[in-house]
């Protein structure tokens, strides 16, 4: 039996499942988006193991892996709402949302991949290794690193030095107990392989100043039928800056009409 995950459950209507990334939580990663989404949808925001207000869920036999987390997400969804649902993941959560949809056919009507790295490259590997090291030795430096890598340069440049220090301190304080485990999951992810297996519409949302999830690999994914990619202003935290645009996108994808069907893959990547 798969261990249970905590879920933030808000609103009513067509169900949407949110999955956060490394070092986040359902409440913090989707703080700005949850109210807008819950106006029209039943929103299930899943806490990955080690995130959220509760204790770490019991570890399943063999330990937590990407596949076991995907199975736990599917169990949490099916115990609360009828399927299919729209799956939306941010960063690592995008990979886990895709893995969940692949492992559980019929669960997802579509998948939204936000700030998602299509390929695991040298930069991604160095990023997770540095994150892990700072987690072990210097939480203050980790907070500064997280602010630097998740925020867009143009937004950071508007802040005062004291604002930067306060933001880094808040980021350090919010790092959940399960971050090391979530970094392990990130190193297991293979989004490109799962993308090839998905048989539902996929929408990609990227930040134009995201240093972690780059646009170019997605340009090379144009052969996949039914792939739509959108580039919004922002960094890795692109969803936090566009809650209303995200709500409008989810409404379109959760209840598409004939005029919403994708006809031009990657049409909005410049």
DSSP string, 121-138: -HHHHHHHHHHHHHHHH-
3-state SS, one letter per residue, for 21-90? CCCCCHHHHCCCHHHHHHCCEEEEEECCCCCCCCCCCCCCCCCCCHHHHHHHHHHHHHCCCCCCEEEEEE
Give the pLDDT confidence score for residue 258 in this predicted structure: 37
Q: What pLDDT, on the 0 to 100 scale, is given for residue 232?
A: 96
Indicate the helix (H) or strand (E) that contains 204: strand 202-207
Name the burial class of residue 13, with classes exposed (0-12), middle (13-18) and buried (19+) by CB atoms within 10 angstroms of its CB.
middle
Fold of 7-118+189-260: Rossmann fold (3.40.50)
CA pair distance 198, 212, nearest whole angstrom? 23
Strand partners, 229: 204
The answer to whether 117 and 212 have CB atoms below 8 angstroms apart is yes
For the chain, the structural domain boundaries read 7-118+189-260, 123-173
Please give the average pLDDT of every successive group of 10 residues along the chain, which has 270 residues: 78 96 93 94 96 82 92 96 97 97 97 92 88 95 95 94 95 93 92 92 94 86 73 94 95 68 41
Nearest to 28 by CA among 48, 4, 42: 48
Contact between 37 and 56 (Cβ < 8 Å): no
What single DSSP character describes residue 268? B
Plot region of 14 (φ>0 → left; ψ -120 to 50 → alpha; else → beta): beta
Residue 243: Cβ within 10 Å count:
17
- Do 37 and 239 meet the contact criterion of CB atoms below 8 Å apart? no
Q: What is the pLDDT of residue 268?
A: 45
Q: Across the strands, what pairs with 205? A: 114, 230
pLDDT of residue 265: 38
Alpha-carbon distance 12 to 127, whole Å? 38
pTM of the model: 0.91
Q: Which helix (H) or strand (E) holds 203?
A: strand 202-207
Q: Which residues of 179-218 are buried (b: 16+ CB within 10 A; e: fewer)?
A: bebbbbbbebbebbebbeebebbbbbbbbebbbbbbbeeb
* pLDDT for the residue numbered 172: 94
The phi and psi torsions of 11 (rounded to 5 degrees) equal 75, -170
Residue with tokens 């919403």: 260
pLDDT of residue 119: 83
């Amino acid at each position: 039996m798969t261990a249970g995950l905590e879920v933030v459950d808000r609103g009513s209507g067509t169900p949407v499942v949110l999955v956060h990334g490394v070092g986040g939580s359902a409440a913090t990663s989707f703080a700005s988006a949850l109210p807008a989404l819950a106006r029209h949808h039943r929103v299930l925001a899943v806490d990955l193991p080690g995130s959220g207000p509760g204790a770490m869920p019991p570890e399943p036999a063999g330990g937590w892996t990407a596949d076991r987390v995907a199975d736990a997400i599917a169990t949490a969804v099916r115990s609360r709402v009828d399927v299919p649902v729209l799956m939306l993941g941010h960063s690592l959560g995008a990979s886990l949302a895709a893995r969940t949809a692949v492992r559980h056919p019929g669960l997802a009507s579509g998948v939204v991949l936000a700030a998602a790295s299509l390929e695991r490259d040298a930069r991604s590997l160095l990023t997770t290794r540095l994150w892990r090291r700072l987690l072990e030795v210097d939480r203050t430096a980790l907070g500064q690193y997280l602010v630097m890598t998740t925020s867009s340069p143009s937004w950071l440049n508007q802040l005062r030095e004291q604002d930067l220090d306060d933001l880094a301190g808040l980021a350090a304080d919010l790092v959940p107990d399960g971050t090391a485990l979530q970094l392990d999951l990130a190193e297991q992810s293979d989004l490109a392989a799962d993308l090839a297996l998905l048989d539902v519409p996929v929408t990609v949302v990227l930040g134009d100043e995201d240093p972690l999830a780059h646009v170019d690999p997605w340009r090379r994914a144009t052969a996949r039928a039914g792939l739509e990619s959108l580039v919004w202003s922002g960094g890795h935290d692109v969803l936090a800056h566009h809650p209303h645009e995200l709500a409008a996108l989810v409404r379109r994808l959760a209840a598409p009409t004939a005029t919403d069907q994708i006809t031009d893959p990657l049409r909005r990547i410049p």
